[in-house]
Amino acid sequence: MSVMRLIKRNFKSVGSEEFNLLYKAHIRPHLEYCIQVWSPYLKKDIECLERVQRRATKLVGTLRKRLYEERLRVLKLTTLEKRRLRGDLIETYKIITKKDNINPTQFFQFTETGHDLRRHSLKLSQARNTNRICRMFFSQRVVRDWNQLPQHVIEAPSTNAFKNRLDKLWQQDMSI
């Protein structure tokens, strides 16, 4: 909130393009710092982060009176929850394909897919947890979303190709 106050104090008016530059450079990094490690799971924490973005989008004077979802669409932004999921999936891709120097078996258990045509070749299995906190660990919360991705997204040759394919898949899903 203090960064937003600085922007509001130092800029008489903020247009959409200026907002995108200021938001992506000064506000969003604070909201997403190490988010894959400490990702909030309590509703009050998720709402607190989203409230910051909601208030930040009101810095654009011409959009102030519009609904939050409409402001996001005009500014070409997504909710922070969607950004956290995207970050989780990207990090999972980097771990599984060994683009990060991490042994994937330390985080994930792979499932044998056999001849099942509905699953991709890197399907993960989810450990059974009775503790709610354990279910929110990175290695557990990402499994369901990872397993729902199609094969052509999973087999991307690079991290940037994975990001592009994932974004394209989500754009197709939103248009349906």
User: Which value, to the nearest 10 degrees, does the dihedral of the CA atoms of residues 93, 99, 103, 105 take?
Assistant: 20
Q: How many CB atoms lie within 10 A of CB 75?
A: 17
17-36 tens-digit pLDDT: 999 999 999 999 988 888 77
**pTM: predicted TM-score of the whole model, two decimal places:** 0.81
Contact 67, 44 (CB under 8 A): no
76-98 tens-digit pLDDT: 999 999 999 999 999 999 999 98
Residues written for the chain: 176
Contact 125, 111 (CB under 8 A): yes
